[in-house]
Amino acid sequence: MRILAVILTVTLAVPAMAGGAKAPEPGTSVEMPYLIAPIIVDDRLVSYAYVSCKIVGVSPQAAIDIRLATPFIQDAFVRDVNAASIGTAADPSVVDQPALAARLLADAKRIAGAAKVSDLKLIQVQIAQMRPSP
């Protein structure tokens, strides 16, 4: 009986001690289709970045609304990454992931509604180099 009480106490205490970063509520994440972003250096296309991300809604109902707006959000994402560089200031061939996530989050909030979108997380950014010309 004492062992059961200790296990129960530890089980209840661990989530309370975790604090800080809170996991999103189940059913609030909407995984977006891959986004293909050009990487341009010195006015020349050098590679593409394949970006996958998910948008976190404030509630399961907000996630449904975000899912319904996915084509419009994806359109805004494509326009955004083609309008301005996604590279860092120091090296335009390296993706500035925090800045890209902030830009895409702003697009998602603008399209789906700021009250419905709480966060955007980049899942993967993969670079595909262009073939050298013969």
Q: What is the pLDDT of residues 27-79, one digit of tens each?
A: 789 999 999 999 999 989 999 999 999 999 999 999 999 999 999 999 999 99
Q: Which residue has the higher pLDDT, 10 or 86?
A: 86
Residue 114 has pLDDT above 70, yes or no: yes
The torsion angles phi and psi of 117, rounded to 5 degrees, stand at -105, 125
CB 112 within 8 A of CB 47: no
Share of the chain above pLDDT 70, in %: 81
Percent of the chain with pLDDT over 90: 68
For residues 83 and 127, what is the distance between their CA atoms, to the nearest angstrom? 19
Check if the beta carbon of residue 96 is closer than 8 Å to that of residue 88.
yes
- Nearest CA to 107 among 67, 84, 74, 82? 74
pLDDT score recorded for residue 3: 56
